[in-house]
Structure 1
């Protein structure tokens, strides 16, 4: 009697028809598809861009394998880097060492209001000389040396003058008039505003002169021609001391 092989009948599913096994696979695939659709629908409710089907929903194994399109993924945030401490210190030090803009008021307050007209030696004083009145003081200087205005003021005359050849007269800041005689070149014009130290002429030897020098006078509107030495001393200028 032939031995019947019972093993195939004992295998799970061995007696199921092929069609039944195929249906089982379809059910499993459908379950996977349903889970995937649930994930996509949930993502769409949270703002993800999803394609909306306009016809009957059909799903195959190919659609499961295809990459999803128009699905927005959150981009990772890139942390902002803190400033480089070394660069920050350099900026701070540069700001501390920055040279401030000059203050015009401070500059004006610091500048001298009276100066010596030239740097040469005093050669003649105010008073009688050779039987005549010498109404100013003389400073010996080389021909062409610069002459500075003694105070702030306004040039009221610049040109020829009897006995001086050429002169420049300046209305000084206290109301007196400064006279600069025997000049060689006139470097200022009538009506020009000048400040103490501005160059207005050069030393000359014009007119009644025995050598290059500057003759400087001070005319007071009430007292007339006064001795420039004490007037300069009151304003802090020692005419006998050479400028530094």
Structure 2
């Protein structure tokens, strides 16, 4: 009997491992029950895909791609693909309650603009207030002031055969000497016969002269105002005692005038009173 007809044991069939593709090897067709199993898996996968598509507006393109990749993996290996990660829901803003009101946050640029506006307003208000105070101070200042307080010892006119072009007001050394007008200091220092002198040119061309001072408080070129202390009384130069020699010259310092008359024209008496007067107390 031929060996081909003998009922010996059948030669085993070797099924290569999934994914191998050796040359000359062929897969053995899967048995019918395996095909039915895969068909069932495909049906389930198809149903899942349809369900996902119907609700797919909530899923993005990434969710669709993950589903398709899962189907491909299921078809290739017969195993379910891992489910894609669910997208994270957006954070829900905190809801303000009576016990916990919503915080109010000012934008940086808005806060900076507000701060700049406040600072600018304060600066403008301060400047306006300063200018108002200066204007009020100027309004309170006298336009003409009595240059010193003391005893009226010598008038304007001829004296000892020589023209005495001013008046003398005597008082203790150091008694304040005041500017008689607003103006600019044109001289401040030693002068022949005066010991020390100060000359001030007013804005309207009146020159006032002060002599025999012990101390000087102003410098050449300095701006002064009527009633400002400019020196301390003394007895420097040709003097017989502590006093102020005071002169007034009109027309840019060219023409002398009696200081008593000039002061009276401005309503100032020698006693410092307004409205006239001729004696010192």
- Normalised to the residue count of structure 2, the TM-score between the two structures is 0.52
CA contact (8 A) 2:213 2:233 kept: yes
Task: Decide which moves more: 139-148 or 161-170.
Answer: 139-148
CA contact (8 A) 1:122 1:240 kept: no
The 3 A distance-change label for structure 1 pair 134 and 205 is same
Counterpart residue number, 1:68: 86
Task: Find the residue that maps to 2:261 and give its secondary structure.
Answer: helix
Aligned counterpart in structure 2 of residue 58 of structure 1, from 63, 66, 70? 70
Q: Which has the larger radius of gyration?
A: 2
Counterpart residue number, 2:262: 231
Counterpart residue number, 2:224: 195
Q: CA deviation at 1:112?
A: 2.6
Question: What is the root-mean-square deviation of aligned Cα atoms in Å?
Answer: 4.9
CA distance in 2, matches of 1:54, 1:32: 13
Counterpart residue number, 2:131: 103
CA contact (8 A) 1:120 1:242 kept: no
Aligned counterpart in structure 2 of residue 166 of structure 1, from 186, 192, 196? 196
Counterpart residue number, 1:175: 205
- Normalised to the residue count of structure 1, the TM-score between the two structures is 0.59
Task: Find the residue that maps to 1:158 and give its secondary structure.
Answer: strand
Counterpart residue number, 2:29: none
Q: Across the two proteins, how many residue pairs are aligned to each other?
A: 210
CA distance in 2, matches of 1:199, 1:24: 117
CA distance in 2, matches of 1:199, 1:129: 30
The 3 A distance-change label for structure 1 pair 156 and 40 is same
CA contact (8 A) 2:146 2:272 kept: no
Counterpart residue number, 2:243: 213
CA distance in 2, matches of 1:181, 1:204: 9
Written as runs of structure 1 = structure 2, the 5 A alignment for 1:1-244 is 34-36=50-52, 38-44=54-60, 50-51=62-63, 53=65, 56-58=68-70, 63=82, 67-69=85-87, 71=88, 73=90, 76=93, 81=104, 100-101=126-127, 102-103=130-131, 106=135, 110=139, 112=141, 114-116=143-145, 118=147, 120-124=149-153, 126-127=155-156, 131=160, 134-190=164-220, 192-197=221-226, 198-221=228-251, 224-241=255-272
Structure whose residues are more often helix by fraction: 2
Cα deviation digits, residues 26-61 of structure 1 (max 9, x gap): 9889767754554443453xxxx7456278442798
Counterpart residue number, 1:11: none
CA distance in 1, matches of 2:146, 2:55: 98
